[in-house]
Amino acid sequence: MTNDPDMEDLQTTYPGAGTFVFGDSAKMSARLTDLARRKTKRANFGDWQDFDGDEDALPKVGRCDIVANWDGTPALVVRTTEVTMVKFNEVTAAMAISEGSKSLADWTATYTSYFKRNGHFEPDMMLVFERFELVEDLADR
């Protein structure tokens, strides 16, 4: 991705930006990116284990990051506004809804399936909860 001229330009505009993709399939990625584009999705959850205990890899408040489409092309720029560690079974309805889910029950079913599909689920697993704001929709460039 870093050899992409658009990505290089974004790295100049947003120094230190990381790049990530929502979801674990092209369909899910497109749906979640669209929710973020419409500002319905204003948060994201990640499995703490995916960060390999590396706190430097965690989202940072104030940092801009690039949301890529499933094919790696840049889609959005978001700025992290909050990072919180929370156990799966302690996620609140407000957190779930800010992530784009319809309800806490919907979030629980979706994320139980997601984490099982990706090889790790425990009801008390530690999650990284990140709130963000949309900075730039790259479809407008």
Query: Which pLDDT score, from 0 to 100, does residue 2 have?
Result: 45
Query: Which pLDDT score, from 0 to 100, does residue 12 have?
Result: 92
Which domain CATH number covers 93? 3.10.400.10
139 domain residue, yes or no: no
108 domain residue, yes or no: yes
When divided into structural domains, the chain yields a total of 1
Mean pLDDT computed over 8-35: 94
Residue range 74-106, pLDDT digits in tens: 999 999 999 999 999 999 999 999 999 999 999
Q: Is residue 4 pLDDT above 70, yes or no?
A: no
Helices (H), 63-133: 93-98, 104-117
42 domain residue, yes or no: yes
Residue showing tokens 């506004």: 81
Q: Which segments of the chain are extended strands (E)?
A: 19-21, 43-47, 64-68, 74-87, 126-137
55 domain residue, yes or no: yes
124 domain residue, yes or no: yes
What's the domain range around 33? 5-133
